[in-house]
Amino acid sequence: MAPAQAMATMSEPQSITVTVNGERYQRAVEPRLLLSDFLRHELGLTGTHVGCEHGVCGACTVLLDGAAVRSCLIFAVQADGHEVTTVEGLAAGDGLHPLQEAFRREHALQCGFCTPGFLLTLVPFLEENPQPTEEEIRHALSGNLCRCTGYQNIVAAVKRAARERAEAP
Amino acid sequence: MKRREGLAKLTGREPYVDDLPFDGGLWGATVRSPLPRGRIREIRFGAGVDWSEMIVVDHRDVPGRNVIKLIVDDQPVLAAGEVRHVHEAVLLLAHPSRALLRRAVRAVEVVVDPLPPVLDYRRPPAREQIQHGDDNVFKRLAIDKGDVDAAFAAAAHVVEGIYQTGAQEHVYLEPQGMLAWLEGEGEREVVVVRGSMQCPYYVHEALCYALGRPAERVRVIQAPTGGGFGGKEEFPSGVAIHAALLALKARRPVKLVYERGEDMAATTKRHPSWVRHRTAFDAGGNLLAQDVEVVLDAGAYVTLSPVVLSRGVIHAAGPYRCPNVRIRGRAVLANFVPAGAFRGFGAPQTLFACERHMDRCARVLGLEPAELRRRNLLRDGDATATGQRIDDGTDREALLDRALKLAGWEAKRTAHRSWNAEQPFRRRGLGLATFFHGAGFTGAGEVYLASRAHVAGLADGRVEVRTAATEMGQGTITIFTQIAAARLGLEPEQVVIAEPDTARVPNSGPTVASRTAMIVGRLVEKACDDLRRRLGVGDAAPGAAVVEAIRAWHRQHPGEEPVGEGRYEPPPGIHWDEEHYRGDAYGTYGWAAYVAEVEVDLRTYVVTVIDFVAVQEVGKVLNETLARGQIQGGVVQAIGWALLEELKVEGGAMRNNQLTNYVIPTSEDVPPIRVAFVENPYPHGAQGAKGIGELPMDGPAPAIANAVADALGVDPCAIPLTPERLMALVEGEDEAPVAGAA
């Protein structure tokens, strides 16, 4: 294929099917559309925030088949055939996910812009490590930036969520 | 009371500006200057873009004054002929496709004939570098008390030092952004702007000025704001004007949201500083005289530098009793993005110098750092550098002792000695800082602001608090609910906090200067009292009577609502002489003593803060959870400023304008912050509150630098204390220069 033709093919919309928060979406997207832009602009799921556009701040973290990923670092086409969970899909029904509740109780957010990314980073972390130490928590959080809280209450919220999970029947 | 904000933020439903729908609207973008100084010769619109479908705005499209209104009319909305810093806004573009817009921004070439820029604010400018007055000095201030020269002549000890601090980027997690649209037609057309901001009425005034419109034809609404720290005090005015200009030209809604790299490169920074101290003591270690010179790097335009300098010089002598003081301050031009408001507002810079210098003085005098401070801390009845008599009943020595005790100072000192002797590569040290922070606007600022707040009775019996105070994470909604509920005897659910919308709320002043709870909160109390008066309900009557009276009012006055108003009045006995910088610089001060414990790795020169104690007196603590959150967050932001955050500036531009290489603290870089409050209610603040938000920015940097001095026996005089700078210091080289606009 000549380079010009290759370019044309590369920019032609691709059909993808992605399950987001349990709902299946079929869309034709530009191959270079970021997953974060797909979620925000195509699906209107604006709870996924974009803080730095290059994978440092962690605000755009979502779950891809249960694993935390930075939605600004992957293309929407890479999510084709996969399941995505965003902050909007964290809680079942109108209530709060236990982690959201723990954040609320411990005042683990101020401006709230980074919060969805922290929550989605922590969901798989707590599943893999249900009783983390403070050091393990701080390590797990170190890929997400928060400028308001000083992290202390986020650590406290993770401890609370772990404690309540252990105490749950 | 539990925090009211947060539910929408936890569930992803909080509508920040970038989340707002704007059907049929355009995205906006900014084309910026490539050079630090010069004259624009030509703007070339390159190939590969269909310019006929692009909205293009330049300075000729500004219908009013081409000025971003603030203190001095020097900063253009869009450069007209001359540019004064890299990334200065020259041209605006708008288009429905963000991808095409990005390509278009790259396709524009701004051709600038260079002029000699000022790249180091510390050097006197050459004649061809003069751009303001005859010396590039934007503002000079002087404070004089007693006879400094005579005191130096009689001194037992004289200690000198020069201290420098670097620029700092706010890194609010949500970048700057505004959505602008038009409502109504012809003479009744209103420009509406909704976006991320701290000060709706600053934005409103700036829009009226640049658009040449009367107040009623501009409306500004704050969107949920993802952090501010001062970075959304004055800067959003320009973003709002840009979005509005594009919307006016396109006749469609326009959203202008900065990308992170643009935000970091083009927005205001904390003022870099150079401070020289010369200090005289008597033989007993008592301060005789302080001679202080303060220079702030203001960047290319005046913005808020005169008032940042003002707070800086007033705090420069520290919380000490000294009969003779001479302070000279100046804010000077450099061809770099303008410095602007940043949490602490000049005080962190001068308090870094003061508190680092106090440790150096202690060493020269052979005194323990705590002992030197104990001998000199202001006691009730003493006067500050401006001659303000302090008589508030706060025991500042007890505050220091509490911090030392909480930190375990004596035991740790002993433990460090043996630990340091045993460890091959690691050293530990302790450092402290005692400091203060003036609460609210400086001098007569609050009188000029003449703020107002309203509390209205709604038809259903609830009340609505109407102020322009913005919530950006600090808990304004909770605090105002708490204040109004307590004053009217209501439950929190019976209090509604109005969205800051200039069409609905009075001008209660900007959300800055740690003034929201203390000053605006007090206006809310007064408005509640006024509402009771209008309703004919006595001050002691219970909430049920207030609710009943509101409902009765609505029955008797259909279509009208009862509104109570609170207006600012200065506390009695406050006198400020603006001309001579004498008198009561602030209504009151928060007082604090902070202790940092650090560990230094001698192989990498990395400094780690391993323990931090923050003890402060901030009047009555209205909500301990929120107050602790302010202190913890502020201390961590200050740890970043002290150790990590360094602007790399080349050719007048920030080169590390990404979060990958401008590093802010993560959860692994900071210890838990141990916070303690001493309460001493301030009679003129809401429920006894003083300001709190900025105080925690002042103390950590000097405490940390003092701890490094203690650990290594070196004398760090410049921050950020990066490994490179510390290595140079330990290995006896010159300290690496601190970024101004170098």
Whether chain A has a CB inside 8 Å of the CB on B305: the answer is no
Residues paired with residue B162 on neighbouring β-strands, in sequence order: B276
Nearest alpha-carbon partner for B350 in B394, B397, B317, B395? B317
Whether chain A has a CB inside 8 Å of the CB on B11: the answer is yes
Taking contacts as CB-CB distances below 8 angstroms, the residues of chain B near A144 are 666-667
What's phi and psi for B350, nearest 5 deg? -75, -30
Mean pLDDT on B171-191: 97
Structural domain includes residue A155: yes
Taking contacts as CB-CB distances below 8 angstroms, the residues of chain A near B668 are 138-139, 141-142
Task: Find out whether B455 and B527 touch, Cβ atoms under 8 Å.
Answer: yes
Task: Find out whether A65 and B29 touch, Cβ atoms under 8 Å.
Answer: no
CA gap B207, B147 in Å, rounded: 48
B268-305 residue pLDDT tens: 999 999 999 999 999 999 999 999 999 999 999 999 99
Q: Give the pLDDT of residue B739.
A: 52
Q: Give the pLDDT of residue B3.
A: 79
Whether chain B has a CB inside 8 Å of the CB on A85: the answer is no
The number of residues making up chain A comes to: 169
Structural domain includes residue A148: yes
Which residues numbered 76-135 in B keep a CB inside 8 Å of some CB on A?
Answer: 99
Check A150 against B632: CB less than 8 A apart.
yes
Taking contacts as CB-CB distances below 8 angstroms, the residues of chain A near B5 are 112
Which residues numbered 109-168 in A keep a CB inside 8 Å of some CB on B?
Answer: 109-116, 119, 137-139, 141-155
Whether chain A has a CB inside 8 Å of the CB on B475: the answer is yes
Angle at which helices A115-128 and A134-141 cross, to 10°: 130
Instruction: Label residue B6 by pLDDT band (50, 70, 90).
Output: confident
Q: Give the pLDDT of residue A93.
A: 80
Task: Find out whether B679 and A75 touch, Cβ atoms under 8 Å.
Answer: no
Check B227 against A110: CB less than 8 A apart.
yes
Which residues numbered 230-259 in B keep a CB inside 8 Å of some CB on A?
Answer: 259
B535-565 residue pLDDT tens: 999 999 999 999 999 999 999 999 999 999 9
Show contacts of B547-552: CB within 8 Å, 24+ apart: B547/B461, B547/B462, B547/B490, B547/B494, B548/B461, B549/B457, B550/B457, B550/B458, B550/B461, B550/B462, B550/B463, B551/B459, B551/B460, B551/B461
From A129's Cα to the closest Cα of chain B, the distance in A is: 18
- Residues A109 and A78 both lie in one domain: no
Which residues numbered 141-160 in B keep a CB inside 8 Å of some CB on A?
Answer: none
From A64's Cα to the closest Cα of chain B, the distance in A is: 18
Whether chain B has a CB inside 8 Å of the CB on A34: the answer is no
The token pair at B704 is 């940390």
Mean pLDDT on B69-82: 97
Task: Find out whether B555 and B459 touch, Cβ atoms under 8 Å.
Answer: no
Q: Which domains does chain B have, with CATH numbers?
A: 25-115+176-257 (3.90.1170.50), 273-442+581-730 (3.30.365.10), 451-567 (3.30.365.10)
CA gap B225, B174 in Å, rounded: 7
Check A111 against B670: CB less than 8 A apart.
no
Of all helices (H) and strands (E), which one includes residue B629?
Answer: helix B624-639
- Residues A125 and A79 both lie in one domain: no
Task: Find out whether B478 and B1 touch, Cβ atoms under 8 Å.
Answer: yes
User: Does residue B598 have a pLDDT over 50?
Assistant: yes
Q: Give the pLDDT of residue B741.
A: 39
CA gap B120, B274 in Å, rounded: 11
Nearest alpha-carbon partner for B305 in B259, B334, B353, B341? B341
Q: Is B290 left (phi over 0), alpha (psi -120 to 50) or beta?
A: beta
- Nearest by CB to residue A148, choosing from B99, B227, B260, is B227
Taking contacts as CB-CB distances below 8 angstroms, the residues of chain B near A148 are 173, 227, 473, 629, 633
- Nearest by CB to residue B225, choosing from A88, A111, A114, is A111
Structural domain includes residue A109: yes
The token pair at B488 is 């009217």
- Residues A78 and A102 both lie in one domain: no
Nearest alpha-carbon partner for B325 in B247, B399, B382, B409? B382
Residue A59 belongs to domain spanning: 12-89
Structural domain includes residue A128: yes
DSSP conformation class of B389: B
Tally of structural domains, chain A: 2
Number of H helices, E strands in chain B: 19, 28
Q: Is B303 left (phi over 0), alpha (psi -120 to 50) or beta?
A: left
**Given CA atoms B566, B569, B571, B572 in this order, what sign does their dihedral have?**
negative
Check B12 against A138: CB less than 8 A apart.
no
- Residues A117 and A51 both lie in one domain: no
Burial class (CB in 10 A: 0-12, 13-18, 19+), B401: middle
B643-676 residue pLDDT tens: 999 999 999 999 999 999 999 999 999 999 999 9
Instruction: Label residue B742 by pLDDT band (50, 70, 90).
Output: very low
CA gap B497, B480 in Å, rounded: 7
- Residues A83 and A17 both lie in one domain: yes
Q: Which of A89, A122, A139 is the last residue of a domain?
A: A89
Q: Which of A89, A120, A149 is the last residue of a domain?
A: A89
Q: Give the pLDDT of residue B735.
A: 54
- Residues A123 and A150 both lie in one domain: yes
Q: Chain centroid to CA B136: how far?
A: 24
- Residues A75 and A132 both lie in one domain: no
Q: Which of A32, A55, A89 is the last residue of a domain?
A: A89
CATH number of the domain bearing residue A37: 3.10.20.30
Residues of chain A with pLDDT under 70: 1-10
- Residues A128 and A85 both lie in one domain: no
**Given CA atoms B724, B730, B736, B738 in this order, what sign does their dihedral have?**
positive
- Residues A60 and A103 both lie in one domain: no
Nearest CA in chain B to A136: B668
Whether chain A has a CB inside 8 Å of the CB on B698: the answer is no
From B87's Cα to the closest Cα of chain A, the distance in A is: 19
Q: How many CB pairs under 8 A join A and B?
A: 163
Which residues numbered 188-227 in B keep a CB inside 8 Å of some CB on A?
Answer: 224-227
Structural domain includes residue A133: yes
Nearest alpha-carbon partner for B713 in B309, B427, B509? B427
Q: Is B222 left (phi over 0), alpha (psi -120 to 50) or beta?
A: beta
- Residues A62 and A18 both lie in one domain: yes
Taking contacts as CB-CB distances below 8 angstroms, the residues of chain B near A145 are 171, 173, 659, 664, 666
- Residues A68 and A127 both lie in one domain: no
Q: Is B141 left (phi over 0), alpha (psi -120 to 50) or beta?
A: beta
Q: Give the pLDDT of residue A11.
A: 76
Q: Give the pLDDT of residue A94.
A: 79
Structural domain includes residue A106: yes
The token pair at A142 is 């170190």
Q: Give the pLDDT of residue B1.
A: 74
- Residues A146 and A163 both lie in one domain: yes
A28-74 residue pLDDT tens: 999 999 999 999 999 999 999 999 999 999 999 999 999 999 999 99
Structural domain includes residue A4: no
